[in-house]
Amino acid sequence: MLNDLGVGKAHYWGYSYGCSIGFQLLKYHAARFSSYILGAASPYPPQEAEKQLINFGLTRLRLGAEQGPEAVIAFWEKTLGRPESDYEKQKIRGNDYKALLALGRNLSQWPSIGDLLSQIAVPCLLYAGERDPFPIKMKEAAKRIPDARFVSLPGLNHREAFREAQARNIILPHVKRFLTRVS
């Protein structure tokens, strides 16, 4: 797509599945990006806690693919013990659940890039909520990448680190400082 747009290089920002895609881009196309901002996934093979999160996501995606977004909204409301906001409902209704399910099913089969981290020459900002299964592995990955920094988001789980970190302006100051440094 970068070629189609006539873009030589870009900054990459991915969260969760998007982070997993970013790690693969680091493996195969690192030079196409000026920097990587990666949240809440691991460059290593999934362990039990991560497998549980993946399976939870697959359950939700399967439900959406088979029964539609209203079933996903009901699932989240039951899981959270509260109604979803109109904003969240709108986002849930906008997903392509068949495409996301296909991605999710293949995600755990993607190759690990843990053995390549020390060779990455592109600046990286890694982050995760402290109540997510990923911060320990992401912090470890940041130590192995020559130009990387890890940010922990206090008190947030996987879902909250995506939605609330943006809404409460928790991650953006870190991203702005990072992009200022690497641009």
Residue span(s) of the chain under CATH 3.40.50.1820 come to 10-45+121-182
More confident residue, 18 or 109: 18
Count Cβ atoms within 10 A of the Cβ of residue 161 and give its class: 0-12 exposed, 13-18 middle, 19 or more buried: buried
What is the per-residue pLDDT for 46? Answer: 78
Burial code of 2-36, b = ≥16 C-beta within 10 A, e = fewer?
eeeeeeeeebbbbbbbbbbbbbebbbeebeebebb
What is the per-residue pLDDT for 130? Answer: 93
What is the per-residue pLDDT for 109? Answer: 77
| Reported pTM | 0.84
Task: Please say if the pLDDT value at position 165 is more than 80.
Answer: no
What is the per-residue pLDDT for 139? Answer: 94
Task: Please say if the pLDDT value at position 142 is more than 90.
Answer: yes
Query: Which CATH topology does 10-45+121-182 take?
Result: Rossmann fold (3.40.50)
Tens-place pLDDT, residues 67-98: 999 999 999 899 889 998 898 899 899 999 99
What is the per-residue pLDDT for 167? Answer: 62
Cα dihedral across residues 143, 176, 8, 99: positive or negative: positive
What is the per-residue pLDDT for 158? Answer: 86
CA 159 to chain centre: 10
Residue 164's pLDDT band (cuts 50, 70, 90) = confident
Residue 7 near residue 34, CB atoms below 8 Å? no
Tens-place pLDDT, residues 22-60: 999 999 999 899 999 999 988 988 777 777 878 888 899
Tens-place pLDDT, residues 105-133: 887 678 889 899 999 999 999 999 999 88
75: its two tokens: 């699932």
